[in-house]
């Protein structure tokens, strides 16, 4: 089996994770992100410049980013749903914006209060601002394997939204299985279609682990040449607009899988697990990561 020789992990725990957990302090978020950087993570989503009325947990993203002390190689990104969010992110020096829409009209309405095509319109000035300031833009498409409101999602719709995001200037699109309903055969069918039109280096996978399929799905995506994986330390989080969805696949579990496949992601697993234990202590919960729990049991 030919797996990619280099795999990039995009750590989304401080955003996708914490947006759906009880609030922690700004200091605790800063410590988490600094610890993730110390563990070797180089792509870290640090917050979201969204409406605090919609997602209060992310209201302090500017303070978090201003307070960070991460390695200089770290690429910090943040969600920017509109120009207001992008301007606020730019002000604190964010070098990568993440814009987000979905392959489901119903989900897009619940999540960002507009249609898919209106969301693309809203992103145009965000991308313009990014281009004018040398900021990269990443795109997310949610609900690529199923929607909490409409159920089945057509792969053709996913393809269409991905093409629009890439055409407007995203360097990569992350495919979100927001409610974690996908299985490897569905992943294969979707990626087979997408890869007929889009090269593998422009796609990332973003699996939530609600039904315990995330690692199997990642393994399938790797087999198909996808080399960027989103994950969240300790399997934090979920999605505020997808009831019952669990967190992203845990970064500890992904790192262990990659090491087992002979792909060294250059991440210190022990330090990573410790970062997860610290934030879980702040949240008064156990990590949702088999690898983290196994390492904890050995300590």
Instruction: Provide the terminal-to-terminal Cα distance of the chain, rounded to the nearest Å.
Output: 35
Cite the DSSP H helix spans in 69-225.
Answer: 83-91, 105-112, 116-132, 155-167, 184-197, 214-223
The minimum distance between CB 157 and ligand HMG, in angstroms, equals 14
Query: 165: which 2 tokens?
Result: 């995001």
Between CA 121 and CA 261 the distance in angstroms is 41
Chain-centre distance of CA 172, in angstroms?
Answer: 12
Which of 81, 235, 247, 276 binds ligand HMG (CB under 6 A)? It is 81
Tell me the DSSP string of 217-264.
HHHHHHHTT--EEEEBGGG----TTSTT---BPBHHHHHHHHHHTT--
* Partner whose footprint covers residue 82, from Mg ion, ligand HMG, none (CB < 5 to 8 Å by kind): ligand HMG
Based on CB atoms, which residue is closest to Mg ion, 12 or 90? Answer: 12
Between CA 67 and CA 80 the distance in angstroms is 19
Which of 4, 7, 13, 16 binds Mg ion (CB under 5 A)? It is 16
* Partner whose footprint covers residue 129, from Mg ion, ligand HMG, none (CB < 5 to 8 Å by kind): none
Between CA 285 and CA 160 the distance in angstroms is 39
Task: Mark residues 23-62: x for contact with ligand HMG by CB under 6 A, - for none.
Answer: -------------------------xxxx-xxx-------
Based on CB atoms, which residue is closest to ligand HMG, 251 or 295? Answer: 251
Residue span binding Mg ion (CB under 5 A) among the ranges 9-17, 58-66, 88-96, 118-126 = 9-17
Strand partners, 175: 141, 205
Cβ distance 147 to 177 under 8 Å? no
Tell me: does residue 292 bind ligand HMG (CB under 6 A).
Answer: no
How many Cα atoms occupy the beta-carbon half-sphere of 151 within 13 Å? 1
SS3 201: helix
Please name the helix (run of DSSP H) or strand (run of DSSP E) that holds residue 139, with its range, or none.
strand 136-142
* Partner whose footprint covers residue 100, from Mg ion, ligand HMG, none (CB < 5 to 8 Å by kind): ligand HMG
Whether 143 is catalytic is no
Based on CB atoms, which residue is closest to ligand HMG, 97 or 140? Answer: 140
The minimum distance between CB 19 and Mg ion, in angstroms, equals 9
Residue 237 CB coordination number (10 Å): 25
Based on CB atoms, which residue is closest to ligand HMG, 48 or 129? Answer: 48
Residue span binding Mg ion (CB under 5 A) among the ranges 14-22, 36-44, 129-137, 218-226 = 14-22
Cβ distance 236 to 17 under 8 Å? yes
Write down the catalytic residue from 162, 170, 239, 280. Answer: 239
Task: Mark residues 214-243: x for contact with ligand HMG by CB under 6 A, - for none.
Answer: -------------------------xxx--
Catalytic positions, written as ranges:
239
Residue ranges that bind Mg ion, judged by CB under 5 A = 16
Residue ranges that bind ligand HMG, judged by CB under 6 A = 16, 19, 48-51, 53-55, 79, 81-82, 84-85, 100, 111-113, 140, 142, 176, 178, 206, 239-241
């Amino acid at each position: 089996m030919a797996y990619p020789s280099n795999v990039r992990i995009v750590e989304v725990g401080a955003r996708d994770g914490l947006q759906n957990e009880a609030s922690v302090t700004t200091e605790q978020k800063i410590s988490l992100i600094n610890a993730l950087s110390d563990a070797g993570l180089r792509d870290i989503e640090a917050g979201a410049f969204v409406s605090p009325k919609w997602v209060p947990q992310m209201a302090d993203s500017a303070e978090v980013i201003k307070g960070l002390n991460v390695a200089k190689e770290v690429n910090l990104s943040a969600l920017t749903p509109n120009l207001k969010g992008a301007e606020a992110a730019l002000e604190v020096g964010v070098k990568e914006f993440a814009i987000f829409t979905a392959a489901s009209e119903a989900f897009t309405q619940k999540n960002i209060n507009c249609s898919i095509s209106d969301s693309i319109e809203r992103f145009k000035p965000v991308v313009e601002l990014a281009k004018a300031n040398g900021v990269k833009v990443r795109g997310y498409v949610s609900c690529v394997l199923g929607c909490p409101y409409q159920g089945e999602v057509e792969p053709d719709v996913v393809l269409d939204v991905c093409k629009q995001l890439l055409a407007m200037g995203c360097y990569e699109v992350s495919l979100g299985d927001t409610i974690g309903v996908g299985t490897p055969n569905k992943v294969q069918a979707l990626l087979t279609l997408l890869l007929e039109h889009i090269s593998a280096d422009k796609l990332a996978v973003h699996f939530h682990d609600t039904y315990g399929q995330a690692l199997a799905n990642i393994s399938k995506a790797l087999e198909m040449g996808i080399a960027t994986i989103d994950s969240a330390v300790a399997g934090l989080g979920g999605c505020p607009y997808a009831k019952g969805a669990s967190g992203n696949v845990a970064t500890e579990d992904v790192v262990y899988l990659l090491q087992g496949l002979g792909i060294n992601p250059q991440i210190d697993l022990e330090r990573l697990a410790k970062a997860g234990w610290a934030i879980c202590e702040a949240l008064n919960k156990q990590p949702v990561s088999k690898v983290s729990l196994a390492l904890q049991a050995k300590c």
